[in-house]
Structure 1
Amino acid sequence: MEIGQIKAIFPAAKYQKTPIDDERYLNFPYGNQWLVLPAAELTTREIELLRLVVGDQSNDKTLLANGHRWFRRLFLGEKATTKETIEKPLRIIQVQIINHDPAIAPTKWLEAFKSMFEQPLLDVFMISREHAIAIEQQTSKTFESEDFLGISQTLDTDFSCSSKLYVGQYWHDDDALAAVFTKERELFQFQVQQSTGRRVFSISNSILKYCFERQLSQNPLIVKSKHELLAIPDAQATITNLYQNGGNVSITAKKLYVHRNTLQYRIRKFQEATGFNLKNVDDLLFCYLLTLE
């Protein structure tokens, strides 16, 4: 359909080179420009009709997100001008918000999340009914994983939601940023699909599991080793806690509520049964990977 025909049906439509960075507007990529319409003037059926006309498969949240420059950079391949480039490193925080009370919109959770930061975020927007993106510039005061865990727990209670977050690394704002984000997004999607009680993810607690699962999990050597390792009583708990505590036997014993000598005995018997010495960094890492579900 020609743009003139579309504008005849939707008189408020504008066809322009750039989208409008305002959530009151829907921005459809059409040809090499943007079809922009006021969201309040469109019914659900009219939005669906427009999607069919322009061949757009996005949902309402994505159409609103089209108006955000950071959405277009991360998802649509738009390049930043020299003036728009951020000098300090930034990180991308991905959020999944599952709402348990239809009367409370996930955007309420997101607004409260936004208010937690001392320095205003560069941008925050929903990309679907359950997923959002926040862009944070590096400052002297930054939240750690434990801080994000506390925020997630508090907001979930306040807004009857269940949330998971992927806290990205700080990256320089350059042409490689979108490609790096794509990989971070893959990690988060992978972790969300796993049966895990963990709420906050990062590259450090995701990449090994992701690569192991995608590339090695069906290797006969891995399958056989895993089967024999998990058949040993207490092996999984011992390995997991040793790894999480940096191989420190004393701390791990306290975590497991056993005497240090008892843990030393388990480690020795495990080595006799498998040949893996859990006091060796390489052996401990390999065995830890075998315990990952």
Structure 2
Amino acid sequence: MKHKLLSYFQHAIEQTSPPSSSQLETYHWFILSAQKEWFGIPKKEINDSQLDLLKNLFDYFILEEKNHKEELVWKQFLFLQGKIPSDIEATSIRLIQFHIQGKEWEKKLMNDAFTDFIGKNNLLIWKNHHEGVIVEKNQHNLQEEAFASFSKAIQSDFYATITFFIGKEVKLNTTLPVISTQERELFSKGLEIIPSQNVLSFEKILPTLFIHRLLENELELFYHCFSIFKEDKEILHTIQTFIENNGHSTNTAKQLFIHRNTLQYRLDRFTEKTGFHLKDFNSLFTIYLACLLFHPGHKQ
């Protein structure tokens, strides 16, 4: 398909390296990430409808006229093998990847919503129309609850679904683009296997990824030992909530809107039916994997 497009647009070009600054100004650029191939189409040779079509088919690199120099430098650094930003004040960095699905939205309004959300200390970078990254500097980090609330607000205001991946805080050095790529690949897997979650992280994705990579014969014992989860979704939700609250009974009961005695009855019933104890670390980890396997929000 790419070669047909290059022959269709008379002055289209292709290359294996990122475009230069002058090329970014005169061409629309698309990247095939798997092959690390770039192709550019002169802005004068393509109309709006053709551009919209190509944006849906290929990974489009956006260079907006209003981009600040800092944003461009960071975009070049993270995505285009550019030099490390000479931002002396930024010593520690946390990258927040995001992915948006849904109907078309007005870019300026979406930008304004993001800008108000992340604050002046952090930086918003768009990779393409549906993906981007928030660069959080020097521990100006937003809490997970804030991302969950913002996701709900975007869904309400823009009729779009946005999912975040919260990366780990790291030092600003030349390894950051590699870490960014690794986190983006893990994020992509998380979007596939945990589609119900709007805030993901390494800790959330890895256990689910592990349980989904077990062979069917290896999962048979899970299905047998934890058949109660298939029969009683209330018990499943209770046990998973209890584990995710680090075994804190008061917080769990409060989140489930039940009395602590009711919670204890369900916990005891689970142990009686399965023989697994919730105070043993190895059992707890196994039980949590079973919760992920049976949870209706996870792809099986």
- TM-score, normalization: structure 1? 0.71
How far does residue 210 in structure 1 lie from its aligned partner after superposition? 2.2
| Counterpart contact for 2:121–2:140, Cα < 8 Å | no
Please state if 1:228 is matched with 2:230: no
In terms of fraction of residues, the more helix-rich structure is 2
Deviation sequence 1:200-257 (CA, Å, 0-9, x none): 222232222223323xx32644431234313353431221111121112233234334
1:1-293 correspondence to structure 2 within 5 Å: 10=11, 18-20=20-22, 25-27=27-29, 39=43, 42-43=46-47, 59=58, 61-62=60-61, 64=63, 68-76=72-80, 78-81=81-84, 83=86, 87-100=90-103, 102=104, 104-106=105-107, 108-127=109-128, 129=129, 131-139=130-138, 141-194=140-193, 196-214=195-213, 217-218=214-215, 220-231=217-228, 233=232, 234-292=234-292, 293=298
In structure 2, do the counterparts of structure 1 residues 28 and 220 end up closer, same or farther at CA, with 3 Å as the change threshold? closer
In structure 2, do the counterparts of structure 1 residues 36 and 255 end up closer, same or farther at CA, with 3 Å as the change threshold? closer
In structure 2, do the counterparts of structure 1 residues 62 and 246 end up closer, same or farther at CA, with 3 Å as the change threshold? same
| Counterpart contact for 2:94–2:169, Cα < 8 Å | yes
How far does residue 68 in structure 1 lie from its aligned partner after superposition? 4.3
| Counterpart contact for 1:22–1:68, Cα < 8 Å | no
Deviation sequence 1:158-183 (CA, Å, 0-9, x none): 22322112222222222322222222
SS where residue 203 of structure 2 aligns? coil
How far does residue 112 in structure 1 lie from its aligned partner after superposition? 2.2
In structure 2, do the counterparts of structure 1 residues 140 and 237 end up closer, same or farther at CA, with 3 Å as the change threshold? closer
The CA RMSD measured in Å over matched residues stands at 4.2
| Counterpart contact for 1:99–1:105, Cα < 8 Å | no
> What residue ranges of structure 1 are gaps of 5+ in the alignment?
1-5, 52-56
In structure 2, do the counterparts of structure 1 residues 281 and 118 end up closer, same or farther at CA, with 3 Å as the change threshold? same
How far does residue 17 in structure 1 lie from its aligned partner after superposition? 7.5
How far does residue 272 in structure 1 lie from its aligned partner after superposition? 3.2
Q: Structure 1 vs Structure 2: percent identity of aligned residues? A: 25
Letter of the aligned partner of 1:152 in structure 2? S
Letter of the aligned partner of 1:207 in structure 2? L
| Counterpart contact for 1:166–1:202, Cα < 8 Å | yes
Match of 1:3 in 2: none
SS where residue 135 of structure 2 aligns? strand
Q: Give the Cα separation in 2 of the matches to 1:17 and 1:63.
A: 12
In structure 2, do the counterparts of structure 1 residues 23 and 262 end up closer, same or farther at CA, with 3 Å as the change threshold? farther
* Structure with bigger gyration radius: 1
Letter of the aligned partner of 2:28 in structure 1? L
SS where residue 133 of structure 1 aligns? strand
- TM-score, normalization: structure 2? 0.70
Letter of the aligned partner of 2:264 in structure 1? Q
Letter of the aligned partner of 1:147 in structure 2? A
Deviation sequence 1:6-34 (CA, Å, 0-9, x none): 9xx559xxxx97335967753478xxxx9
Letter of the aligned partner of 2:43 in structure 1? A
| Counterpart contact for 1:97–1:106, Cα < 8 Å | no
In structure 2, do the counterparts of structure 1 residues 63 and 125 end up closer, same or farther at CA, with 3 Å as the change threshold? closer
Match of 2:35 in 1: none
| Counterpart contact for 2:96–2:166, Cα < 8 Å | yes
Q: Give the Cα separation in 1 of the matches to 2:164 and 2:113.
A: 15
